[in-house]
Structure formats: structure tokens, C-alpha cells
């Protein structure tokens, strides 16, 4: 397929097939490196705009949810192609709005298109439908056995809130959008106000794919707004049936409250807050103390610390190598130059978090990176140190700083680790560094960590999320609002589906996925056994 990219940035909301210049509050993106505002001017969507997007999405749902698997998969593949066709236009706009280096932008673009193609493959394979057939036995006594068949159906239109820290992979065509569209659910995206131009470019790419495949225009809409009004209007619209969100705990809880207060509450799949604890055990420390200290700070500084998996806490069990670890970590922080943060808002929030930590008498400042006042919105690396007793007495040390900062907690006795884990909030990740000599301590530690976090890592670092079929990017509250789900990987589709059983429905009225002859050729559980053919 030859793609002719749409490259205009006009400041429009994309309401179905229409470009709408809204009449709400005006705002512009900011170049976080220099502090200059970027054209064009955007306007917050009005209540009427949100209503129109929701009406179109509900109308589209009746058709889009019935698209056959090949057509839906081809649609997802086309979105990936449209995004790739934007080329340098997209790359340069992302860089201008976020300060993210070009190389990382290109990597995030590849991750975004890769996710879309992964979900296209998932759709074609059909296992996500979870088709089950229990055949009838009218001769069973004392009660005849009915014919029961089951499949998954989409919840309905999904409101997706784009993230600030991943302008592509967790944004307009990111994992939430890709998995919702894969499930058969139309999507209304609320663009993040820090990168509206990027959002518009990607939104136009999605809309081009909608048109290419002749899908209803309400299959996708993109709305803008810097305030809370648009998000609240979306979440409380009765035609919206689920929410995907990546952002702050405050923002996620506000959406949860709004969704719960509806006459008919809806699920909110919110990724919110995680400090991703790392546990370094004595054997590993003795063997690799200095090396681990350097690697720790490299992980902390990845993405200028603005990753949801950044290691915000490290528990160091004292022993040989502990001082070497801290010395290497402090040297690495001191050698770290200030770097541009993604937006003025994130830079201000990080600075406030660092000030709170600095004023906390339960910690000491171990090291600080160099400043660079030529950068308008910068993050300066920070490292703090405390003891296990002080950590256990200070709940505030679990507050996320969301930037290049972390706290080392020196633990003088490994027996304290169990109490420390019990003290921690839910997390996206938990990491253990252990040598074979540490396994007697690591075994019960991992047993507790699997109840704390969605992903448990061994001898690595939490930054970097592998997109695939086995990954979990989720976890107990407050890491997410729905700990049984993931926002990354093929299982993300499950959030926007629900099971329906069909009892004694005539063959000609059954969904095609459940018909006896299995015309789609998908894997199904028939009378308890997985099979593809009958």
C-alpha cells in the first residue's frame, strides 16, 4: 500500500471525520529546552465537541465491533504504516515539544508501530476471543445438559488519556488505543496538552487509516484541552464504557471518582504511581558493588528519570561492597549533567519533590548533578541516603519524585527485608540483585514481591519494558487501579472485553466464532479440550 502522509498541524480537534477548531481556552505547546511557545494555537474542546465525539463513537460501535478479524487487523497495520510515513515531520515535532533526543524518538516510534502490528497479529490469531463450547447432552439425567458457548465482546467506546512522558507509545496511537481498537472498541483520545502537535499528527494518521478501510468515522476521535473539564466530560458521558489512563496518582484518582459516581459506573484502567524498589543482597554486592552502583544511576537517569519504571528506591543490605556501591553511585550522580525535562509542568513538579526530600530530616543528600541554566526546564540528578529504621518511620519517603532522583536505604540486617516489603505500596516492578549465595534470602523475598509488583526482575534494572506476550506492566494500587490487568503486551486487550455465554442459541444465530464448524479456524476450548478443528 502506498501511503501519502498527512503532515499538516492546524490546531484542530479531530471529531470523527471533521476538523474542529474549538472555542474553549487557548493554549500552546512549549519547547522545554528553550522555553519558547510553538505554533499553532490550540483550543480546548467544548462540551458540545465531547458530546459529538461520544455520539459518533457510540454509533460506530454498532458496526466496528462486528468487523471481521482480517479487516480489523489490516486497519491496525495501516495505522502503523501511516505513522511511519510521517517520517521526519513527526520526529522533529516530538523533539520540539518534548526535548526527547532524536534517537529515542525514533525508538519510541518503532515501539508504537510494533505494538500496533503485534495487536494486528493477536486479532488475526483469535485466541483473545476465548471461545468455549460445552456441547449439549439432552439425555443426561436427572437434568438435560444445555448447549453453552462463550466468547468475549468489547465493552464499548473507550476514552484514552495520553501520557506526558511517552508522546507516542503511551499516547494517541499507543498501547491503550491499539488494544481497545483490537478489541473492537472505538476510541476517543484526550491529547496531552504538552505535545498537541505530535498528537494531531498521529491522530491524522489514525484517521487516514479509518478512511482507508471504510470504517465508521466515529471509530476514532481526538480532542484537546489543558484543563480537567474535557476529561471529566469524557469519563461521565454515558456512551463511554471504559477508560485508559497513564499519569499521576492525583489525576487517576480523580477519574476513578468521576467514573464511580456515574449512574452506571465504568472501569478505569489507570497507571498512576510507582517507585520500583530495588533490593541488592550481600553476595551480589560483594561481587559487583561498584559496577552495580554505576548501573543503578544509569537506570535512574534514563529518560531524565521520567519513566514509570525508574528506580526511586534502592535497599542496600550492608556488607562487603556496600561502601563501594555508594561511592560509585555518588560519583556517577556528580558526573551527571542537567538535562531537559519533558515539559514545564513536569520540571516544576520534580523540583517540588526534590525540595520536599531535601527538607526531610530522615534523609541526607549524598550527591547532586551539575546544573545548566541554559536549559529552560531541566532536571538535576539527586541521590539521597537513609537507614531502614528511618524509612520505616517516614511514609513520605515512598512519594514518587518522577525525575532523575532516588533514595538509597541502608539495611543492616537482611531479616528486615520482610518488614520493609510489607511497608511498601503496590508497584509496577520490584528488582532483586542476588548471587547464588543469596538465594536463601532471595527465595522468600521473591515470594513476597510477587504480591507487591506486576513484574519481578532478577539481576537487571526496571527501566525498559519489553513489549510482548508475557510482559506485565501493571500492579497493585497505587501502581494501577486494576491489578489484574496490564497496559503493555498482548494481554492488554483483555481490559476492554467481557465474557458472554450463549445457551441453546440456534446455530444460524450464533456469532461466527462459536459456530460448530469453526469457520474462522481459531483455537477454542471444546468440552474442556483446546482444539482448532473439530
Catalytic residue numbers?
Answer: 271, 308
DSSP one-letter string for 58-115: HHHHHHHTT--HHHHHHHHHHHHHHHHHHHHHHHHHHHHHH---HHHHHHHHHHHHHH
d(C-alpha 22, C-alpha 43), whole Å: 5
| Strand partners for 269 | 244
3-class DSSP state of 374: coil
CA–CA separation, 418 and 453 (whole Å)? 15
Q: What is the DSSP secondary structure assignment for residue 41, as one 8-state letter?
A: E
| Cα–Cα distance for residue pair 296/524, rounded to 1 Å | 45
φ/ψ (deg, to 5) at 323: -65, -35
The H or E element spanning position 160 is strand 158-161
CA pair distance 488, 246, nearest whole angstrom: 12
Helices 102-125, 175-183: axis angle to 10 degrees equals 20
Q: How far is CA 149 from CA 93, 153, 515, in A?
A: 49, 13, 9
For residues 378 and 234, give the distance between their C-alpha atoms in angstroms, rounded to a whole number: 33
Candidates 218, 213, 212, 216; CA nearest to 70 is 213
Distance of CA 187 to the CA centre of its chain: 16
Separation between Cα atoms, residue 164 and residue 166, nearest integer Å: 6
C-alpha separations of 381 from 51, 292, 323, 336, 373 in Å: 44, 18, 20, 7, 14
Distance CA 68, CA 417 (A): 52
Distances (CA, A) of 384 to 356, 387, 409, 518: 12, 11, 9, 60
3-state class (DSSP) for residue 256: helix
Amino acid at each position: 500500500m502506498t501511503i501519502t502522509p498527512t503532515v499538516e498541524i492546524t490546531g484542530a480537534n479531530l471529531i470523527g471525520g471533521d476538523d474542529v477548531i474549538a472555542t474553549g481556552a487557548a493554549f500552546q505547546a512549549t519547547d522545554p529546552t528553550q522555553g519558547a511557545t510553538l505554533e499553532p494555537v490550540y483550543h480546548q474542546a467544548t462540551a458540545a465537541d465531547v458530546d459529538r465525539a461520544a455520539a459518533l463513537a457510540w454509533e460506530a460501535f454498532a458496526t466496528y465491533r462486528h468487523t471481521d478479524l482480517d479487516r480489523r487487523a489490516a486497519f491496525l497495520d495501516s495505522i502503523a504504516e501511516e505513522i511511519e510515513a510521517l517520517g521526519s515531520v513527526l520526529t522533529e515535532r516530538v523533539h520540539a515539544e518534548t526535548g526527547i533526543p532524536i534517537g529515542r524518538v525514533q525508538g519510541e516510534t518503532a515501539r508504537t508501530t510494533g505494538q500496533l502490528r503485534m495487536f494486528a497479529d493477536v486479532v488475526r490469531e483469535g485466541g483473545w476471543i476465548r471461545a468455549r463450547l460445552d456441547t449439549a447432552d439432552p439425555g443426561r439425567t436427572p437434568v438435560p445438559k444445555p448447549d453453552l458457548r462463550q466468547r468475549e465482546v468489547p465493552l464499548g467506546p473507550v476514552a484514552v488519556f495520553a501520557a506526558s512522558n511517552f508522546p507516542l507509545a503511551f499516547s494517541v496511537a499507543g498501547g491503550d488505543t491499539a488494544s481497545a481498537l483490537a478489541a473492537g472498541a472505538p476510541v476517543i483520545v484526550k491529547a496531552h496538552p504538552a505535545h498537541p502537535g505530535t498528537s494531531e499528527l498521529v491522530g491524522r494518521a489514525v484517521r487516514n487509516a479509518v478512511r482507508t478501510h471504510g470504517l465508521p468515522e466515529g471509530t476514532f476521535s481526538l480532542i484537546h484541552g489543558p484543563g480537567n473539564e474535557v476529561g471529566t466530560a469524557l469519563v461521565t458521558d454515558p456512551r463511554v464504557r471504559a477508560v485508559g489512563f497513564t499519569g499521576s496518582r492525583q489525576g487517576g484518582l480523580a477519574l476513578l471518582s468521576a467514573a464511580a459516581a456515574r449512574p452506571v459506573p465504568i472501569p478505569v484502567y489507570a497507571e498512576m504511581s510507582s517507585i520500583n524498589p530495588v533490593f541488592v543482597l550481600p553476595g551480589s554486592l560483594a561481587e559487583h558493588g561498584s559496577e552495580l552502583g554505576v548501573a543503578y544511576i544509569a537506570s535512574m537517569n534514563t529518560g531524565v528519570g521520567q519513566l514509570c519504571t525508574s528506580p526511586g528506591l534502592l535497599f542496600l543490605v550492608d556488607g562487603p561492597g556496600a561502601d563501594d556501591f555508594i561511592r560509585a553511585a555518588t560519583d556517577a550522580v556528580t558526573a551527571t549533567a542537567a538535562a531537559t525535562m519533558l515539559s514545564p509542568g513536569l520540571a516544576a513538579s520534580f523540583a517540588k519533590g526534590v525540595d520536599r526530600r531535601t527538607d526531610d530530616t530522615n534523609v541526607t543528600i549524598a550527591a547532586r548533578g551539575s546544573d545548566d541554566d541554559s536549559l529552560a526546564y531541566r532536571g538535576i540528578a539527586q541521590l539521597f541516603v537513609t537507614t531502614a529504621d528511618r524509612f520505616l518511620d517516614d511514609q513520605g519517603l515512598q512519594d514518587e519524585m518522577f525525575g532523575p532522583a532516588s533514595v538509597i536505604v541502608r539495611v543492616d540486617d537482611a531479616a528486615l527485608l520482610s518488614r520493609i516489603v510489607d511497608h511498601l505500596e503496590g508497584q509496577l516492578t520490584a528488582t532483586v540483585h542476588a548471587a547464588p549465595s543469596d538465594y536463601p534470602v532471595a527465595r522468600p523475598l521473591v515470594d513476597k514481591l510477587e504480591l507487591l509488583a506486576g513484574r519481578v526482575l532478577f539481576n537487571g534494572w526496571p527501566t525498559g519494558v519489553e513489549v510482548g506476550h508475557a510482559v506485565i506492566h501493571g500492579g497493585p494500587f497505587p501502581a494501577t487501579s486494576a491489578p489484574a490487568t496490564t497496559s503493555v503486551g498482548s494481554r492488554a486487550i483483555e481490559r476492554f472485553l467481557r465474557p458472554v455465554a450463549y445457551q441453546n442459541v440456534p446455530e444460524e444465530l450464533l456469532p461466527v466464532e462459536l459456530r460448530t464448524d469453526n469457520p474462522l479456524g481459531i483455537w477454542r476450548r471444546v468440552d474442556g479440550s483446546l482444539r482448532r478443528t473439530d
